[in-house]
Chains A and B, each alone.
Chain A
Amino acid sequence: MTQVAEEKDILVSTYAQMRETLDTPSTPWLDELRRAGMAHFEKVGFPSGREEAWRFTNVAPIARTKFTPGLGTITPVARDVAKQYSFGDKAAIELVFINGHFARELSKLDRLPGEAHVGTLADAFDADDQTVRNNIGRLVKLDTTPFTALNAGFVFDGAFIRLPRNTTIPAPIHLLFVSTAGADGQPTVCHPRVLILAEDNVEAAIVESYVGPEGAVYWTNAVTEVAIGKDSRIDHNKLQQESLRAFHTAAMHVHLDRGSYFISHNTTIGGRITRNDPSVKMAGEGAYAVLNGLVILDGEQHCDNHTLLDHFSPNCPSHELYKHVLDGKSSAVFKGQIYVHPEAQKTDSKQTSKSLLLSDSAEINSMPALEIYADDVKCTHGSTVGPVDQDMLFYLRSRGVGIDAAKHLLTYAFVADVTRRITVEPVRARIEDFMAAQHGLPQDLRITDLSDFDAEVL
Chain B
Amino acid sequence: MPEPLLVIENLHARVASGDKREILKGVNLTINKGEVHAIMGKNGSGKSTLAQVLAGRETYEVTEGSVTYMGKDLLELSAEERAREGVFLAFQYPVEIPGVSTSYFLRAAVNAVREHRGLPEISAPEFLKLVRDKMKLLHMDNSFMNRAVNEGFSGGEKKRNEIFQMAVMDPILALMDETDSGLDIDALKTVSYGANTLRSPERGILLVTHYQRMLNYIVPDYVHVMLDGRIVTSGDKSLALELEAKGYDWVEKEYAQPAGA
Task: State whether the Cβ of A399 lies closer than 8 Å to any Cβ in chain B.
Answer: yes
Closest B residue to A419 by CB, please name it.
B99
Contacts of A415 in B (CB 8 A): 99
* CB-CB contacts below 8 Å: A363-416 with B: 390-392, 394-403, 405-406, 409-410, 412-416
Asked if residues A453 and B80 are in contact (CB atoms below 8 Å), the reply is no
Cα-based distance from A391 to B83 in the complex (angstroms): 16
**Interface stretch (choices B31-39, B108-116, B190-198, B220-228):** B108-116
Asked if residues A392 and B95 are in contact (CB atoms below 8 Å), the reply is yes
Contacts of A394 in B (CB 8 A): 57-58, 79, 95
Asked if residues A413 and B100 are in contact (CB atoms below 8 Å), the reply is yes
| Interface-centre pick from B89, B100, B116, B124 (highest chain A CB count, 10 A) | B100
Task: State whether the Cβ of B165 lies closer than 8 Å to any Cβ in chain A.
Answer: yes
Contacts of B55 in A (CB 8 A): 398
Contacts of B128 in A (CB 8 A): 456-457
**Interface stretch (choices A87-95, A216-224, A443-451):** A443-451
Asked if residues B142 and A399 are in contact (CB atoms below 8 Å), the reply is no
Task: State whether the Cβ of B91 lies closer than 8 Å to any Cβ in chain A.
Answer: yes
Asked if residues B56 and A450 are in contact (CB atoms below 8 Å), the reply is no
| Least Cβ–Cβ distance between A197 and chain B, in angstroms | 37
Asked if residues B146 and A454 are in contact (CB atoms below 8 Å), the reply is yes
Asked if residues B100 and A453 are in contact (CB atoms below 8 Å), the reply is no
Asked if residues B79 and A398 are in contact (CB atoms below 8 Å), the reply is yes
Asked if residues A401 and B91 are in contact (CB atoms below 8 Å), the reply is no
* CB-CB contacts below 8 Å: B100-145 with A: 100-101, 103-105, 107-109, 112-113, 116, 124, 128, 132, 142-143, 145
Cα-based distance from A391 to B89 in the complex (angstroms): 14
* CB-CB contacts below 8 Å: A411-458 with B: 412-417, 445, 447, 450-451, 453-454, 456-458
Cα-based distance from A253 to B84 in the complex (angstroms): 53
| Least Cβ–Cβ distance between A422 and chain B, in angstroms | 14
Contacts of B82 in A (CB 8 A): 398
Q: Report if A400-B84 is in contact (Cβ < 8 Å); known contacts: A394-B57, A450-B146, A458-B142.
A: yes
Question: Which DSSP category, helix, strand, loop or mixed, fits chain A's interface?
Answer: helix
Question: Which DSSP category, helix, strand, loop or mixed, fits chain B's interface?
Answer: helix
Asked if residues B104 and A416 are in contact (CB atoms below 8 Å), the reply is no
Cα-based distance from A397 to B101 in the complex (angstroms): 16
Cα-based distance from A413 to B99 in the complex (angstroms): 4
Contact indicator per residue, chain B 55-71, by CB within 8 Å of chain A (1) or not (0) = 11111000000000000
Task: State whether the Cβ of B185 lies closer than 8 Å to any Cβ in chain A.
Answer: no
The one of B78, B116, B124 in contact with A403, judged by C-beta atoms closer than 8 angstroms, is: B78
* CB-CB contacts below 8 Å: B152-210 with A: 165, 169
| Interface-centre pick from A395, A398, A401 (highest chain B CB count, 10 A) | A398
| Least Cβ–Cβ distance between B132 and chain A, in angstroms | 6
Task: State whether the Cβ of B235 lies closer than 8 Å to any Cβ in chain A.
Answer: no
Closest B residue to A452 by CB, please name it.
B146
Task: State whether the Cβ of B97 lies closer than 8 Å to any Cβ in chain A.
Answer: yes
Closest B residue to A420 by CB, please name it.
B99
| Interface-centre pick from A390, A391, A445, A453 (highest chain B CB count, 10 A) | A453
Cα-based distance from A157 to B112 in the complex (angstroms): 54
The one of A392, A400, A445, A451 in contact with B116, judged by C-beta atoms closer than 8 angstroms, is: A400
| Least Cβ–Cβ distance between A294 and chain B, in angstroms | 13
Closest A residue to B80 by CB, please name it.
A397
Closest A residue to B107 by CB, please name it.
A445
Cα-based distance from A400 to B89 in the complex (angstroms): 11
Asked if residues A397 and B146 are in contact (CB atoms below 8 Å), the reply is no
Asked if residues A391 and B99 are in contact (CB atoms below 8 Å), the reply is no
Contacts of A450 in B (CB 8 A): 101, 103-104, 146
Asked if residues B105 and A397 are in contact (CB atoms below 8 Å), the reply is no
Asked if residues A395 and B112 are in contact (CB atoms below 8 Å), the reply is no
Contacts of B88 in A (CB 8 A): 398
| Least Cβ–Cβ distance between B83 and chain A, in angstroms | 4
Asked if residues A399 and B165 are in contact (CB atoms below 8 Å), the reply is yes
| Least Cβ–Cβ distance between B261 and chain A, in angstroms | 35
Q: Report if A447-B104 is in contact (Cβ < 8 Å); known contacts: A395-B97, A453-B145.
A: yes
Asked if residues B79 and A456 are in contact (CB atoms below 8 Å), the reply is no
Q: Report if A399-B83 is in contact (Cβ < 8 Å); known contacts: A451-B146, A454-B142, A456-B124.
A: yes
| Least Cβ–Cβ distance between B169 and chain A, in angstroms | 7
| Least Cβ–Cβ distance between A443 and chain B, in angstroms | 13
The 19 sampled A-B contact pairs (Cβ below 8 Å) are A395-B91, A395-B94, A397-B56, A397-B78, A398-B83, A398-B91, A399-B105, A399-B108, A399-B169, A400-B112, A400-B169, A402-B80, A406-B80, A413-B100, A415-B99, A451-B146, A453-B101, A453-B142, A458-B142
Other than A400-B109, A413-B99, give 6 A-B pairs with Cβ distance below 8 A: A392-B97, A409-B100, A415-B99, A450-B104, A453-B145, A453-B146
Ranked 10 nearest A-B pairs via Cβ: A413-B99, A400-B112, A400-B83, A399-B109, A395-B95, A397-B79, A397-B80, A416-B99, A413-B100, A453-B145
